[in-house]
Amino acid sequence: MGKTKSVYICQECGYESPKWMGKCPGCDSWNTFVEEVKSQKAVTFSEVKNAPVNINEIEITHEIRYSTKLEELDRVLGGGVVRGSLVLVGGDPGIGKSTLLLQMANNVAAEGNVVLYVSGEESAKQIKIRAERLNVLSKNLFILCETDINEIEKNILNVNPNVIVIDSIQTIYRPELQSAPGSVSQVREATSALMHIAKKQNIATFIVGHVTKEGSIAGPRVLEHMVDTVLYFEGERHNTYRVLRAVKNRFGSTNEIGVFEMKHGGLEEVSNPSEMLLSGKPKDVSGSCVVCTMEGTRPILIEVQALTSLTSFGMPRRMTTGLDYNRTVLLIAVLEKRVGMHIQNHDVYVNIAGGLKVVEPATDLGVLCSIASSFKNIPISSETVIIGEVGLTGEIRGVNLIDKRVFEAKKLGFKKCVIPKENLKGLEKVDDLIIVPVDNIYEALEEVLGG
């Protein structure tokens, strides 16, 4: 017979301890240990059920995908929902996770597939009110308000759905465990049960996960390791635009993003995010320029804003929004050392308009030019796009997928594109677009600021 013992588990990282501790050694969190009863089963050896198979003898077939009728979501998933996959969707409260999944469930059900929407946070009437606002009326969509994983398993076998939505995993519990719903043991056990059902019955399953104040999915990291795909729904609650990003995907790329706009009737796709992000760009104002960044295979034009002002304190401030702070400080140092701009007594603020987060070095030259533009109070032409990575010696390095970036600028009506000289090789001529190759930051500043 199995023995039971009491252990203390950190609710943030899953660290186990035989006694209670105030600070977790695994994640340095305070007051996160909760006592849970753990069963120790005796180890027994049985006959081998699965024998090894030579890799050359394994036959594969193309996976069957369901289209969600949301091109942005299908792109992030890698082309649609794969049968038998387990997808974890995380995001801040009120960001629109339930809205997105309810719209997705309605679209999949409208194609003749049976969808089971399991809610542990809302009643059936509450979901119906939201469904009427979103115009979700499919006859193949079933709603189940339940938190007991045993009852959920029974209903799944009775309904036999093609797609399941669990909202949210933190509310699901197994009665056999003495720990509270949302604890490490309950979340891990519930996810394991859903994974077993998804793989055995070949049912695509979506799980909604809460996030912590740091922005990561609540619970142990093992939750993200168990699922096939992890999606993050990002954006500000007071901003209408949302970005869906994949951080793990066994069936597609993790570099793609989907852009949505929150409206009264639900989430609507933004097919041209570049136009949306540049809609409010001011003209003939210093400290503003347009750069092109790549999100997977999609080029996106964004506006970089910079502001420099004389500091009132001994230590000047450096603040960034949507950019890497250390990278921005590096670019300021290059301006001071290689160009001779005395920015050491100025506060510098850099912002990416629209709420996007950019980590690609191809935006370096645009950030550097916007800071120089604000410092010299010389505006950059609103018809110019700046692309390039900046090195510590002031050289402009080449970037990848330059042809897609240039054609995106052409499509939105820009007249000039400043690119690294290295990328000029092999680039086809683009009508109605002036290509200006630059080799160092002196040439770039001379071109965009006139010296």
In a domain, 59, yes or no: no
**What mean pLDDT is predicted for residues 93-100?**
89
For residue 340, the tally of other CB atoms under 10 A from its CB is 7
Tokens, residue 273: 């995010």
Residues 280 and 227 in one domain: no
State the average pLDDT for the chain.
Answer: 87
Lowest mean pLDDT among 49-53, 385-389, 405-409: 49-53
List of residues 6+ apart from 245 with CB closer than 8 A:
76, 231, 232, 234, 257, 258
Residues 260 and 145 in one domain: yes
Residues 254 and 356 in one domain: no
Residues 237 and 324 in one domain: no
**pLDDT for residue 348 is more than 50:** yes
In a domain, 115, yes or no: yes
Residues 154 and 300 in one domain: no
User: Could you give the count of Cα atoms lying within 13 Å of 443 in the half-sphere of its Cβ?
Assistant: 14
Using the 3D structure, point to which of 237, 271, 305 is the last residue of a domain. Answer: 271
Which pLDDT does position 46 carry in this prediction?
Answer: 53
**pLDDT for residue 240 is more than 80:** no
**pLDDT for residue 220 is more than 90:** no
Residues 411 and 428 in one domain: yes
Residue 410's nearest CA partner among 434, 389, 388, 387 is 434
Residues 259 and 369 in one domain: no
Which residue shows structure tokens 């795909």?
Answer: 229
**pLDDT for residue 43 is more than 80:** no
Give the CATH number for residue 404.
3.30.230.10
Using the 3D structure, point to which of 211, 245, 271 is the last residue of a domain. Answer: 271
Percent of the chain with pLDDT over 90: 53
In a domain, 136, yes or no: yes
**What mean pLDDT is predicted for residues 14-29?**
86
**pLDDT for residue 391 is more than 90:** yes
Residues 284 and 211 in one domain: no
pLDDT band with cut points at 50, 70 and 90 for residue 222? low
Residues 344 and 390 in one domain: yes
Contact (Cβ atoms closer than 8 angstroms) between residue 118 and residue 146: yes
Lowest mean pLDDT among 11-20, 40-49, 88-97: 40-49
For residue 451, the tally of other CB atoms under 10 A from its CB is 8
Which pLDDT does position 5 carry in this prediction?
Answer: 74
**What mean pLDDT is predicted for residues 134-152?**
93
Using the 3D structure, point to which of 243, 271, 299 is the last residue of a domain. Answer: 271
Which of 243-247, 430-434, 443-447 shows the highest mean pLDDT? 443-447
**pLDDT for residue 42 is more than 70:** no
In a domain, 51, yes or no: no
Instruction: Give φ, ψ of 141 to 5 degrees.
Output: -100, 120
Binding residues for ATP: 91-98
In a domain, 187, yes or no: yes
**What mean pLDDT is predicted for residues 228-234?**
90
For residue 246, the tally of other CB atoms under 10 A from its CB is 23
pTM for the structure as a whole? 0.75
Which pLDDT does position 114 carry in this prediction?
Answer: 95
Which pLDDT does position 47 carry in this prediction?
Answer: 55
R_g over Cα of the chain: 26
In a domain, 50, yes or no: no
What domain count does the chain have?
Answer: 3
Binding residues: 91-98
pLDDT band with cut points at 50, 70 and 90 for residue 238? low
Residues 417 and 351 in one domain: yes
Residues 421 and 337 in one domain: yes
Which pLDDT does position 1 carry in this prediction?
Answer: 45
In a domain, 54, yes or no: no
In a domain, 290, yes or no: yes
Residues 263 and 307 in one domain: no
pLDDT band with cut points at 50, 70 and 90 for residue 443? very high
Which pLDDT does position 41 carry in this prediction?
Answer: 55
263: containing domain: 64-271
